[in-house]
Chain A
Amino acid sequence: VRELHIQMPADIEKAQEVEHLGSWIYHPTDPSLFTCSRELCRIFGLRENEFDGRMESFFTLVHPEDREAVERAYMAAIVDNIPYSLEHRIVRPDGSVRWVHAQADIIRDAEGRLVQIIGIIQDITARREAKERVRRSERRYHTLVHASPVGIFHTDAQGECIYVNERWCEIAGLKAEEAYGAGWARALHPKDRERIATEWYAAVREHRLFKSVYRFLCPDGRIIWVYGQAAGEESETGEIIGYVGTVTDITEQKQIEQRLLQQQGELCHAQRLITIGELAGVMAHELNQPLGAITNYLEGAIIRYEKEFTSNPELGKVLEHTLRLAEHAIHVVRNIRALVRKQDPSRQGVDINALIRETVQLIGAEIARREVRITLDLALNIRPLWSHRVYLQQLLLNLILNSMEAMETIDTKNRRLIIQTLGTERAIEIRITDTGVGFGEESATRLFEPFITTKKEGVGLGLSICRTIVETHGGEILADSRPGQGATFRVTLPTDRRSHERDPNRADRFHR
C-alpha cells in the first residue's frame, strides 16, 4: 500500500493543524506519487479512509463557480511560470462551503523540466468572515452616520474636531473642512460659547454625559437651536482619547415653544386688562348711581334752602363742599372708565375653530394635569367673526377653565369636556359641555353677576367677564344645568359685521 500522506515531524503536523494549513506534493512524471498532509484532508472535509490518493479528488471539491479560475491559474503557473496563488471556495462532501487560500511552487530541473509541485492550502473561512463582518459593520456605520437625522461630531482629546457628518454641516451651515480642528466652535452662538464651555468641562470632570440646549449661529445669520449631547471616548486603558457627540435641530420646537410662551404672555396681559376693565365697569356702574343721587339731593337742597344760608352760612359752605367732593368722585370714576376703554384692541376677522384649537393647545398642560378628556366637534365652513381676538380667547379660556373646575370632585374617568361650534346664516354658536357638578336653576340666573362665586380663591369675575365680552360682540350667553348632571354654556355670536354694535335693548336686560 502506497503512503498517501506526507511524512512530517509531529510538531510540523501540529502547526498545520493549528493554522488550518495543509500541504501537498505532486510529481508530474508520476501522478500516482501525489501525497498530501492530513490537515489538507481535514480542510477538504475528507475522512482518513475517504481519500483515494488522487489529486483529482481535491479538484472535484473546488466550488463549481471557482473551478475555471483555479484551472486557469494552475495552467498559467505550469505554462507561463506565473506564481500560483489564489483564494477560492471549496465544497466539502457534507455540502459546507469553505474559503481557502491556495499557493504552489513549481520546481523544475536545470533544463526547465517540471520536477515537482509543492502546494499549500490554508482554510481562510474564519478570516474572510471576520473581514466581511468588519466590512458590513463599516457599511452600517456609514449608513448610520450619513442618513442620520442628527448631526454627529468626533473630536480628539483636546477637542479638535476630526470628523463631522453631513447633517452636522447642514445644521451648522459650515463645510466639513471648516469644522475640522478648532473651526467647529465658530458654529456656536457667541452668547452661548462661554456657557457651553463651562458645562462641557463640568461634564468631562465629572465623567458624565454632556447635555445642553444651545444655539448655532450660521454664517448666513440664521440662528439654529440645537439639543446637543456628547460623551468621552475612552481607550482600553480608560483614558479619554476623544469625544463623540450629536446635535439635533430643535429650532422648530423652540419656535413653537416661544410662540406658546408669547401667546401665554399676551393672554396674561389681556386677562389683567379685561379683569381690571370689568372691575372698573362694575364699580363705575355701582358708584355712579349713588353718586349721581347724592349730587342731585345736594343741589336740590342748596336751591331750596338758599335763604337759610344767610343766617347759617356754615351750612351753605358744607353743602357746597360736599357737592364738590361728590363731583370729584364722579370725575375719578369717569376717568378710570375712560382709561380702561382706551385699551380696547382693534377688531379683526377671527376663525373661531382655529382659535378654539389654539386655546386648547395653550392650556394643554392644565388639561392634562386635571385629567380631563376634551372632544372638539367643530362645524365646517364656519364664517369668521369680526372680533377682538384676545377677548374671544379670554371668553373661551374662562369657560373652559370654569368647566374644568366644575369637574374637580368628579372621578377622573368621567371628566369630559365637549367643545362644539355650530354655524347658522347669521351667527355662530359655541357650546361648552362638561360632566361636572352642575348647578340649580336659581344659580343659573345669577351666574353671570359680578362677585358671585362658589370657589374659594375666585373673585367671581370670570363669568361676568364672559357676559361682558359676549355683549360687546352683540351676542348672548346662556347656561343650562341640573345639579350633579354637568352643565352646558351656550354662546351665540353674530357673524354679521353690523350687528356687532351693541344692541342696547338687549344689553339692558343683562345689565342690572
Chain B
Amino acid sequence: MSATQTEPTVFIVDDDSEMRNSLKWLIESVCLPVEVFECAEAFIQAFNPNRPGCLLLDVRMPGMGGLRLLDWLRAQGAHLPVIMFTDHGDVSMAVSAWKGGAFHFIEKPASRQQLLHCIQDALTLDRDLRTKASKQAAIEARLAQLTPREREVLERVVEGESNKCIAMELGITERTVEKHRESIMEKMGTRSLAKLMQMIFLCRRDG
C-alpha cells in the first residue's frame, strides 16, 4: 500500500486551456499538487487508481465528455471523488451528474471559497475511503490465514454462540473450540473479542 502514501493530487479535466491553467494556478496557491488534462481520454490514459486525490471535471467537452468519463470511473470501481462543472442553470446536466455518482457539482464559474471547500471535502472523503479500504485489505489478509475449521468457528463466535453450542454443532469438544479461538485471536492480531467483532463488521459492511 505504498501508493496511499503519495500526496493527494487535484486532477483537472477541462478542454478550455485558460480555465484549466487558471484553476491550476488557484489550487496550487493553497499548496495542493495539481495535474491537468485537456480531455477525458488523456485522463483515462494516465489514470492510476492508487493515486489519491479528487477530480475536477467539466461536463461539456468534445469527444467523450464529462458524464461518460464519470461512468467509466464508476465502471472501473474507482471511488475517486468527482466534482463536476456544469453550466449555470443546466438542471438536466446537474441531475445526470448526480445520478452518475458525482461527489458534487459546481456551476461555472465557481467562487474560490466554494471551490476550495469542495476540494477539501473531496480530499477528506478520498482519504477516509482509502484508509478504510487499506484497513479492510489488512483484515482480509489476516482472515485469509484462517483454516476452514477456524472460519467455521469464527462465524459462530461472531453470531454470539457459546463455546458449548459451537462444540455441539461442529461435533468437537469445548476444549478444541477454545483452542481454535485462541488461534483465531492470534492470527487476527487481537486479544479482545470486541475488537475482533469490529474487524469482521468493517469487512462485511461493504460485502
A residues lining the B interface (CB < 8 Å)? 284-285, 288-297, 299-301, 303-304, 327, 330, 334, 337-338, 341, 501-502, 504-505, 507-509, 511-512
Contacts and interface: CB of A to CB of B under 8 A. Distances in A.
Interface in B110-164: 110-112
Chain A contact residues: helix, strand, loop or mixed: helix
Given A291-B109, A337-B88, A502-B92, A508 B22 contact: no
Contact of B68 (A289, A334, A505): A505
Contact of B22 (A288, A300, A505): A300
Interface stretch (B26-34, B43-51, B170-178, B191-199): B26-34
Interface of B: 15-16, 18-19, 21-23, 25-30, 59-68, 87-89, 92-93, 96, 108-112
B89 A288 contact: no
Contact of B96 (A300, A338, A504): A504
B30 A303 contact: yes
B109 A330 contact: yes
Nearest to A330: B109
A327 B61 CA distance: 24
Given A337-B89, A505-B67, A512 B26 contact: no
Given A292-B108, A293-B18, A509 B25 contact: no
B65 A304 contact: no
B109 A292 contact: yes
Contacts, number: 88
A295 B92 contact: no
Most chain-B CB neighbours within 10 Å: which of A296, A297, A507? A296
B92 A289 contact: no
A501 B65 CA distance: 17
A240 B153 CA distance: 127
B25 A507 contact: no
A319 to B, nearest CB: 12
Nearest to A295: B109
Contact of A297 (B25, B64, B65, B67): B25
Contacts of B28: 300
B56 to A, nearest CB: 11
B18 A505 contact: no
Contacts of B68: 505
A300 B26 contact: yes
Given A291-B109, A303-B29, A512-B15, A297 B22 contact: yes
B92 A512 contact: no
B164 to A, nearest CB: 61
A282 to B, nearest CB: 13
A288 B108 contact: yes
A303 B113 CA distance: 12
